[in-house]
Every structure is written in structure tokens, then in C-alpha cells.
Structure 1
Amino acid sequence: MPEAEPRNIVEKFFNTVGYILQAPTVWVREKIVEPNQKSYPWYHQKFRRVPTIDECYTDDVVCYYEADTQYRRDKQVDSEILSILRDRFEDCVMYEAPDHLERCTPLHKQYEEATTNWFTKYGDLGAYHNAKTCYMKQKHRLLWERRHGPVGTGMKSDLSE
């Protein structure tokens, strides 16, 4: 749709001044900024996946550093997902005030499952943990489950005696 013609000289003057101020800004953005801008199809930068800590050699310090950095990013993403689920549940409770027990149950179950999974992976590691301590926790949990059954179900009895 073409612009309407200015009705009088004052409107024409302000349109001209506006164009003079706007034209260099638009030119810089279209010709310099946008062609040099990295565009990601995501809301955040997507890093390439690096080998995990169990794939690193024991003397490969760079691989340990990359695995630890990736672990920290993954933990931050998982924590943000948990925060979003918690906010959704709290918003549901506030919005569905008297009937929130039945209407927000699916959100609560999803949040509780995500919390359990987060705690299974990152819980009880202490303040200063890294990818190696998390990997050791996972290894010890798998050994426990192999010997005693799933965690939380009690110790399995030996029927072979």
C-alpha cells in the first residue's frame, strides 16, 4: 500500500526530516549488521556435542575440559526446564484456584517426574562437582541396581541360599 501524499507543507517537512534521520540507520542495519549476523534457528546458541567423560582418555586434559563444559551447559539447561515446569504448575494453581487439585494434576505429575530425574542425575553431588563425579555417581547407581534391585524398592532377597 503506497504512502498517502502529505496534506500540507508541515507534514511534508516532518516526513522529510524523518526520512533523513531514518535512512542511514536503515542502510547500516540492512547492509552491515544483518549480513554479518549469525542466525540460529534456536533461541540460544546450539553448541556441537563433544565426547562425554567416559569417552575421554585419562591423560587428555582438553577432552576432560570440553566434557566438563558440556556437562555444565546440560545441567543449566535441565535446571531451566525444571524452572519452566515449576512456573507452569504454579501459574496453573493460581489460575485454577478452587479446582486446581484436579485440573493441574498432569502438570504436577510432569513436574514431579522431571524433579526426580534431575535429582537422580545431579542430586547429592555437593557444591563442587564436575562431569567425572556425576559419571561416578551414575556408575555406582548402576552397580547398586545390579546387586540390589532398583533404588527405592528395597533390597532384593537372595533366593539362591
Structure 2
Amino acid sequence: MVAEDDNIFRAFAKAMYNTIDSPVTWFREKVVEPNQKQYPWYHRKYPRVPTIDECYSDDVVCDFEANHQFKRDKAVDSEILNILRMRYEDCMMYENPDHATPCKPLWDKYKDAEEAWFIKYGDLGANADARKAYMKQKHRLIWERRNGPLSDLTK
């Protein structure tokens, strides 16, 4: 058991510290922290809304939400593609001049992601929206039903 400190200056300093710190600590623990939104990730997670094919044609709010979700998804997919490209470029710089073999898996992964991005977002233009992307997907599915998959034509 520790005896109480008989130094008057330290006792005074501790009393002043507790006088200032106690209300602040109480406010943080009892008010601020219970009211904070706790996320286990670093970015905000938006709730998924109905996609454009699930919206009625006259539902403006659903159309607006689907467009915003489409634009967020496009931004995330573009950033993923950018990260894959940077990983490949870093591998090339690190493994130079023999980068062909060790960086091949990264290159293949990047090319697959690039193809998937272009299938979904390519040729839509600068002001693409969810309805245009949905029509592009529909036309592609119809074309593949009539002519077979595109992967068969590239071989």
C-alpha cells in the first residue's frame, strides 16, 4: 500500500489537474464517445439503394439515388484500377531490367481489372449516368445472346 504524498506542492498540482481534467474526461466518456458513429473502416459506408433497373420510370428520387450510387461505384472502381496500375509500375521499377517474369501476375490482374472496368464504364462519355450504363449492359447481353461471348471473338 502506497502512503499518501506528503509533498504539498505535488498534492496541490494533482488537485488542480483533477479539477480541470475530471469534467473534460467525464464529458468525453459520457457524452461524446456514445454519440460518435463508429466505423471499422476509414471511409464512409453508404447504404446500398435500389439500382436503376429497380426504379419506376417516374420515380425521380430513386433515379437520383441510383445515379449517385453509380458515380460512387465508378470512382471506387477507378481508384482500384489506379492502385493496381501503381503496384505494377512499382514492381517494374523495383525489378528492372528483368521485370517481365516477377511482375506478370500483377500485369495480368491489372489487365483483367481494366477489361472489367471498360466493359462496365467504357464508351459512356464524361456525363455517364446509371441509365446509360444499364442500357449499355442490356445491349451487350443482347449482342452476346445473338453472336456468342466477346471472349470467343478475340481468340
- Please give the secondary structure, in 2, of the residue aligned with 1:101: coil
Note the C-alpha offset of 1:35. Answer: 2.6
- Tell me if 1:104 matches 2:103: yes
Aligned to 1:36: 35
What percent identity do the matched residue pairs reach?
A: 62
1:143 to 2:150 alignment:
no
Distance 1:70 1:94 in 2: 36
Q: Which moved more, 1:53-62 or 1:29-38?
A: 29-38
Q: TM-score scaled by structure 2?
A: 0.79
SS at match of 1:34: helix
- Rounded to whole Å, the distance in 2 between the matches of 1:76 and 1:108 is 21
Query: What is the CA distance between 1:94 and its match in structure 2?
Result: 1.2
Q: Is the 8 A contact 1:144 1:151 kept in 2?
A: no
Q: What stretches of structure 1 of length at least 5 have no aligned partner?
A: 1-11, 155-161
Separation (CA, whole Å) in 1 of partners of 2:28 and 2:89: 41
CA distance in 1, matches of 2:53, 2:142: 16
Higher relative contact order, structure no. (Cα contacts within 8 Å, ≥ 6 residues apart): 2
2:117 is the alignment partner of 1:118: yes
Q: Please report how far the alpha carbon of residue 34 of structure 1 lies from its aligned counterpart in structure 2 after TM superposition.
A: 2.6
Q: Residues of 1 paired with 2:51 and 2:96: CA distance?
A: 45
1:45-89 C-alpha deviation (Å, 9 max, x unpaired): 111111111111111111111111111111111111111111111
How far apart are the structure 2 equivalents of 1:97 and 1:48?
44
* Greater helix fraction, Structure 1 or Structure 2: 2
- 2:68 maps to 69
Residue type of the alignment partner of 1:113: D
List runs of 5+ in structure 2 lacking aligned partners.
1-9
Taking only aligned residues, the RMSD between alpha carbons, in angstroms, comes to 2.9
SS at match of 2:56: coil
Aligned residue runs from structure 1 range 86-105, under 5 A: 86-105=85-104
Contact 1:51 1:63 in 2 (8 A): yes
Residue-pair matches, total:
147
1: CA distance between counterparts of 2:102 and 2:28? Answer: 48
Q: 1:93 to 1:25 in 2, by over 3 A?
A: farther
List per-residue Cα deviations over 1:106-149 (Å, max 9, x = no partner): 00000010001001100000111100000000011111111122
Instruction: Find the counterpart in structure 1 of residue 47 from structure 2.
Output: 48
Q: Distance in 2 between matches of 1:55 and 1:82?
A: 28
